[in-house]
Amino acid sequence: ASDVYKRQIALDVKGLAVGAAHRQTFDVECDIPELGLTERGIGGSRRAGEQAAAAAMLATLKAKNL
């Protein structure tokens, strides 16, 4: 049996597009309400914003050893 345990946490990602259609930036928040954590990411596409927010959250989780 493995000693590795995986914990599932509800993840809430919301975003906002800002700017002219040809030069939008996407400001995205990644929330884990159960842990009281929120991180932001900004990108030139919705996907890039989501990835930046997720990377910031992962860094926070690692820093807190969660």
Integer Cα distance of 64 and 37 in angstroms? 11
pTM: 0.74
Residue partners of 61: CB distance under 8 A and separation at least 6: 37
Q: Which residue has the tokens 């807190």?
A: 64
Q: How do residues 11-65 score in pLDDT, each as one tens digit?
A: 556 677 777 877 888 888 888 888 899 999 999 988 898 889 889 999 999 999 8
